[in-house]
Amino acid sequence: MKLPNKETITILALGDIVGRVGRNAVVRNCRFLKEKYHVDFLIVNGENATHGNGLIYKQYLELINAGCDCITMGNHTYGKKEILTYAKNAKKLVVPANLVNLEPELQQNIAYEQKIGEARIKVINLLGIDNIKLSVKSPFIAFKEIYEKDPEAIYIVDFHAELTAEKNSFGYDIDGRASMMFGTHTHVQTADERIMPEGMAYITDAGMCGIRESMIGFDYKEVKKAMWEGTSYSVALKGKGMINGLLTTIDIHSKKAIAIQRINFDVE
């Protein structure tokens, strides 16, 4: 993407896509969002995009063809085993870099780089430790190792973690090295978006792209029943969709965020 004489870049990071309604919301509004907010690069978390658990290749392509520039994952990276067969062809797919014993088929997907004008951005995805129920390396150590090998890039980090305190502490740790961190995984958008002391754009959780009246994207009526009777529940299929995310403008010379805006609106 060649944008001569551009002093800033604008990044839009969307929260977890949950199921068909979430996918449709992003696919139908991707171009609109990029035009409305003058977005240079759009990231979306896709780990719940296929029936709420994982991402198949067909839907990876659907999102990329709609205008998503990068898709990050999370604790449901292996939710659809098909990922092991298509990852080598999915250059814009980023999986958690700190998964222990990461499958060889996914080793090339631990970061995504793109040149935007004079800027070179690098997207990485990391998992938190608390209540994730996967074997993971410390995200603090993992980020340090990645950053020290390439400190000149503009880092955009999707931190997929459960606890707000863990996300907040990680944000303070990478502030000054990363230019943007957006939390994912809990699907509930937080109202703490801000530029941190050393210049990094931050939000504890970007939210989700899915059905507004749902239990983090799942059918709330089924969830209510499950709470009383121990039954199963599924992704919500009907209802008004919503799009959540964080919009950030970054100075390409200082690598610091100079403007942020929380995105939260309903779609038909």
The reply to whether 81 falls in a domain is yes
The pLDDT value recorded for residue 116 is: 94
76 is known as an active-site residue: yes
Q: Does 3 reside within a domain?
A: no
Decide if 1 is inside a domain: no
- Tokens representing 204? 């504890």
- On whether residue 2 sits in a domain, the answer given is no
Q: Is the residue at 33 inside a domain?
A: yes
Exposure string over 122-155, b if 16+ CB within 10 A, otherwise e: bbbbbbbbeebebebbebeebbeebbeeeeebbb
25 in a domain, yes or no?
Answer: yes
Q: Can you give the pLDDT at residue 2?
A: 41
- For residue 107, what pLDDT band results from cuts at 50, 70 and 90? very high
151 within a domain of the structure (yes/no): yes
* Residue pair 175/196 in contact by the 8 Å Cβ criterion: yes
% of the chain surpassing 70 pLDDT:
98
Count of structural domains within the chain: 1
- Specify if 101 maps to a domain: yes
The pTM of the whole model exceeds 0.75: yes
- The domain containing residue 145 runs over which residues? 8-267
pLDDT tens-place string over residues 3-51: 445 899 999 999 999 999 999 999 999 999 999 999 999 999 999 999 9
Query: Nearest-CA neighbor of 208 among 35, 59, 39, 47?
Result: 47
At 268 the pLDDT is 79
Task: Report the CATH number that the domain containing residue 141 is assigned in CATH.
Answer: 3.60.21.10
DSSP lists the bridge partners of residue 70 as: 43
pLDDT in tens, 67-89: 999 999 999 999 999 999 999 99
Please pick, among 38, 76, 160, 185, the residue that the annotation labels catalytic. 76
Q: Are strands 119-127 and 112-116 parallel, antiparallel or unpaired?
A: antiparallel
- Residue (of 242, 234, 221) closest to 51 by Cα position: 234
Chain-centroid distance, C-alpha 236? 21
**Mean model confidence pLDDT for the chain:** 95
Is the separation of the CB atoms in 127 and 96 below 8 Å?
yes
Whether the predicted pLDDT of 227 surpasses 70: yes
